């Protein structure tokens, strides 16, 4: 998502990110942006004259809507629409029962309402949302470095990040944030607390928390620093010769992180790779291209974009795979979208990887940023992207509501008119995301497991267990029967409805879940995740499909070689 000319650039690339939920994602490509738009906030009432600041946005949205029609609306049509909107706002401002807050009406109502008439992925960012968007691009921010969430009506530490000020200071999962500096946060929202925790690098911040097992508040004095949020958080061996790498998103650093993690493992020792893109919402297109091309031959197509007013552009492998021929299994889920689908589609179309898991989300639209004054930005759909075989993976959103589009459980739709073929001749379809070569459906949770997870039993027991003691465990530690007995007693104390029979039936499953939560507190989320990976049934099942990936690759190479001889 990018551009230049008598126009100006919005950074060097645009990332996809989540704004209104797990599937509100955007794919970035370099395109040209329209002339700089002057849109600024104005205090007080807005009247006819003051509404002039909204004109550029309305014009941009109107022109975008016209891109689906045979021609572009005339300037008279646009002016008429603007006059109508202004008149409606004047009537509302003058006569509505309560005081009208212009910023809320415009930023949360008028602009999003207009964009929702276009497609599910065009979006408007106010200054706060734009800053979060930029943080996602950069992969870092200034603050104390911990994930917080709302639990039991309190903003609570979920876990501190490795190497962060919060981790070094000793904050733990389960700590309830009661005060930041001199401001009480017992009734604050998560967003409010996050804003208090962030700040310029090198500035002090005091955090007071309520910790299970402690009579008084525990106070921490921290100094804010740069917090890195790696997009490739895990790279481990799951079996001898079999590597596992998880790409969480595609930000500005992803390809470098990916390269570094493979180098750290020792890529020359890899006999098979499980590449996990599950629930990856997307990111910077160029980073998806960079990850894809290291497994493809020089000149092979990766992705192309086409739009009504943007020039068609094809991305191909420039470096080549440097002889890397080990088999790859790509794990995907319904939450894999955008740039994650670009990587998956490229490797599938060239038969370079075996795709394992669920049907992906189906997000094949490209957004361009239109920077606005007042530190706002408009992300507008300007093109669609296509996999190497030429299929459009965008799922249909013209029927039903956008809510249904966002949260539809089954995304496995096909456009039978968009039938293409991979390099070896396998049939693939567009119109509904990427269909896996091998489907995997995770076992459904039983009643007791739903109760334990839904009530946060493992999380709260861990907070209570470590509350009055040091949070540390020796190497090779595991949850023993004594801890399991304490856990069962805790469930009865908290009246979590799990019978003795159900507890016995789910003991091994519960032991694993409890081990991971307790390791998160004792040694960190990163180490806990590594332990989870090597015992994850779905990951191990994916690794069993590596021979299929090898056979697919070898067949494709033979067929391509035969075609070249003809």
**Cβ neighbourhood burial of 362 (10 Å; 0-12, 13-18, 19+):** buried
Query: How does DSSP classify residue 109?
Result: I
Neighbours of 397 (CB within 10 A): 18
Distance between CA 406 and CA 398 in Å, rounded? 13
pLDDT in tens, 108-119: 888 888 888 889
Q: Is the pLDDT of residue 132 over 80?
A: yes
Identify which of 6-10, 468-472, 555-559 has the greatest average pLDDT: 468-472
Q: What is the pLDDT of residue 52?
A: 52
Q: Is the pLDDT of residue 16 over 90?
A: no
Mean pLDDT of 117-136: 86
Which candidate, 285, 227, 277, places its Cα nearest to that of 251? 285
Q: What is the pLDDT of residue 560?
A: 76
Q: What region, left, alpha or beta, does residue 474 occupy, with left being phi > 0 and alpha being psi -120 to 50 degrees?
A: beta
The residue ranges of DSSP E strands in 126-241, in sequence order, are 140-143, 146-151, 154-160, 176-180, 183-184, 204-210, 218-223, 225-228, 234-239
pLDDT in tens, 234-261: 999 999 999 999 999 999 999 999 999 9
Structural domains in the chain? 140-228 (2.30.42.10), 234-366+388-439 (3.90.226.10), 447-535 (no CATH)
Question: Using 50, 70 and 90 to split pLDDT, how confident is the model at 399?
Answer: confident
Can you read off the two tokens belonging to residue 148? 């917080």
Give the pTM.
0.85
pLDDT in tens, 257-297: 999 999 999 999 999 999 999 999 998 999 999 999 999 99
Q: Is the pLDDT of residue 65 over 60?
A: no
pLDDT in tens, 319-373: 878 878 999 999 999 999 999 999 999 999 999 999 999 999 999 998 888 887 7
Q: What is the pLDDT of residue 72?
A: 52
Question: DSSP characters for 322-360?
Answer: TT----EEEEE-TT--THHHHHHHHHHHTT-SEEEES--
Q: At what angle do helices 457-466 and 507-522 cross, to 10 degrees?
A: 50
Contact call for residues 116 and 200 (beta carbons, < 8 A): no
Q: pLDDT: is 107 or 148 the higher one? A: 148
Which candidate, 347, 231, 240, places its Cα nearest to that of 280? 231
Q: At what angle do helices 447-454 and 507-522 cross, to 10 degrees?
A: 20
Q: Is the pLDDT of residue 224 over 70?
A: yes
Q: Indicate which residues carry an active-site annotation.
A: 338, 349, 363
Identify which of 64-78, 153-167, 358-372 has the greatest average pLDDT: 153-167
Whole-number average pLDDT of the chain: 85
Q: What is the pLDDT of residue 126?
A: 83
């Amino acid at each position: 998502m990018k551009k230049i000319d008598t126009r100006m650039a919005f950074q060097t690339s645009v990332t996809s990110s989540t704004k209104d939920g797990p599937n509100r994602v955007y794919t970035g490509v370099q395109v040209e942006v329209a002339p700089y738009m002057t849109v600024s906030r104005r205090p007080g009432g807005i009247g006819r004259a003051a509404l002039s600041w909204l004109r550029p946005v309305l014009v941009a949205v109107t022109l975008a809507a016209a891109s689906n029609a045979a021609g572009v609306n005339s300037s008279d049509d646009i002016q008429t629409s603007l006059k109508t909107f202004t008149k409606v706002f004047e009537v509302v401002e003058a006569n509505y029962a309560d005081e009208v807050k212009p910023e809320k009406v415009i930023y949360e109502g008028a602009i999003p309402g207009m964009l929702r008439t276009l497609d599910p992925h065009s979006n408007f960012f106010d200054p706060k949302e734009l800053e979060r968007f930029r943080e996602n691009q950069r992969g870092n921010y200034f603050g104390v470095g911990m994930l917080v969430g709302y639990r039991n009506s309190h903003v609570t530490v979920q876990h501190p990040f490795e190497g962060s000020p919060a981790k070094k200071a000793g904050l733990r999962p389960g700590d309830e944030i009661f005060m930041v500096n001199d401001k009480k946060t017992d009734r604050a929202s998560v967003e409010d607390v996050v804003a208090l925790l962030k700040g310029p690098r090198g500035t002090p911040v005091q955090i007071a928390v309520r910790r299970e097992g402690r009579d008084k508040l525990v106070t921490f004095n921290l100094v804010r620093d740069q917090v890195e949020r790696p997009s490739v958080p895990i790279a481990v061996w799951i079996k001898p010769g079999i590597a596992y790498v998880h790409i969480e998103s595609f930000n500005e650093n992803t390809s470098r992180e990916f390269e570094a993690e493979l180098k750290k493992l020792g890529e020359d020792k890899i006999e098979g790779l499980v590449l996990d893109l599950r629930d990856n919402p997307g990111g910077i297109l160029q980073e998806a291209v960079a990850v894809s091309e290291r497994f493809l031959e020089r000149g092979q197509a990766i992705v192309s974009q086409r739009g009504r007013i943007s020039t068609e552009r094809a991305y191909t492998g420039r470096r080549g795979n440097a002889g890397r021929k080990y088999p790859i299994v790509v794990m995907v889920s319904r939450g894999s979208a955008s740039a994650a689908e670009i990587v998956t589609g490229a490797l599938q179309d060239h038969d370079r990887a075996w795709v394992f898991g669920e049907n992906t989300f189906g997000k094949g639209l490209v957004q361009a940023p239109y920077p606005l004054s007042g530190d706002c930005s408009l992300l507008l759909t300007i093109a669609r992207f296509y996999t190497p075989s030429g299929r459009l993976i965008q799922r249909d959103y013209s029927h039903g509501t956008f809510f249904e589009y966002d949260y539809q459980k089954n995304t496995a739709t096909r456009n039978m008119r968009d039938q293409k073929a991979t390099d070896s001749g396998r049939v693939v379809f567009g119109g509904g995301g990427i269909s896996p070569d091998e489907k995997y459906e995770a076992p459904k949770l039983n009643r007791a497991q739903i109760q334990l997870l839904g009530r946060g039993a493992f999380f709260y027991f861990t907070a209570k267990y470590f509350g009055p003691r040091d949070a540390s465990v020796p190497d090779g530690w595991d949850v023993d029967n004594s801890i399991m007995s304490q856990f069962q007693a805790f469930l009865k104390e908290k009246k979590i409805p799990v019978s003795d029979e159900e507890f016995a039936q789910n003991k091994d499953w519960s032991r694993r879940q409890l081990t991971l939560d307790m390791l998160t507190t004792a040694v960190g989320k990163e180490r806990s995740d590594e332990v989870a990976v090597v015992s994850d049934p779905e990951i191990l099942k994916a690794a069993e499909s590596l021979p299929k990936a090898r056979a697919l690759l070898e067949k494709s190479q033979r067929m391509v070689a035969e075609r070249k001889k003809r």
